Amino acid sequence: MPFPVRFHHVGLSVADLDAQRRWYADALGFTEVVEEFEVPEAGVRTAVLRTADGTRIELIERAGSARTETFTDPMDVLRAQGYGHWALEVGDLDDAFARLTGAGAEPVWPPADAVQPGARFGYVKDPEGNLIELIQPAAS
């Protein structure tokens, strides 16, 4: 029998913790610091950030880490198994897409109709190239 689950956070390995913390705070509202810790012997620093509505992201910097693969669109991510992107629900996709690209996100797929009738989606990359899907649900 299944047990109850609820989303807690997504973890993202980053090259520059301080720069990514600023971008996620300024661009997406991840301003509350829930937790920070370091593991000096492993060269690891982390910060768990939260938005006003409770959405969390853990940014993890490890000395010597490197991006192993790059991609030009969301379909390229599917060449490797594992997490390819994370998705955020937004109220106004066009506004969110414009604000994020104005804040330094790279446009990947512009806003378009989704499979679900009335819903829309788009993709951007954060300043380090991590893929974020933006989803505007269908009006209820």
Same domain membership, residue 87 and residue 52: no
Q: Picking from 40-44, 84-88, 115-119, 131-135, which range would have the lowest pLDDT averaged per residue?
A: 84-88
pLDDT category of residue 87 using cuts at 50, 70 and 90: very high
Coil, helix or strand for 42?
Answer: helix
Other CB atoms within a 10 A radius of the CB of residue 8 amount to 9
Same domain membership, residue 58 and residue 22: yes
**Domain contains 45:** yes
Residue 100 has pLDDT above 80, yes or no: yes
**Domain contains 119:** yes
**Domain contains 2:** no
The span from the CA of 71 to the CA of 129, in Å, is: 9
User: Closest Cα partner for 125 from 50, 89, 73?
Assistant: 73
**Two tokens at 104?**
């330094």
Same domain membership, residue 110 and residue 81: yes
The span from the CA of 12 to the CA of 130, in Å, is: 8
Domain limits for position 115? 74-136
Same domain membership, residue 100 and residue 56: no
Give this prediction's pTM. 0.89
The span from the CA of 139 to the CA of 74, in Å, is: 25
**Domain contains 21:** yes
CATH of the domain at 79: 3.10.180.10
Domain count, the chain: 2
Quote the pLDDT of residue 84.
81
Same domain membership, residue 88 and residue 47: no
Residue with tokens 């913390």, as numbered in its chain = 21
Spatial contact of 60 and 105, defined as CB atoms under 8 Å apart: no
Domain boundary residue, one of 35, 62, 89 = 62
**Domain contains 5:** no
**Two tokens at 12?**
């993202």
Same domain membership, residue 41 and residue 80: no
**Torsion angle of C-alpha atoms 116, 123, 87, 112, degrees rounded to 10:** -20
**Two tokens at 67?**
């991006």
User: Residues of the chain with pLDDT > 70: what percent?
Assistant: 99
Same domain membership, residue 91 and residue 112: yes
**Domain contains 42:** yes
Same domain membership, residue 86 and residue 48: no
Per-residue pLDDT of 13-58, as tens digits, reads 999 999 999 999 999 999 999 999 999 999 999 999 999 999 999 9
Quote the pLDDT of residue 7.
86
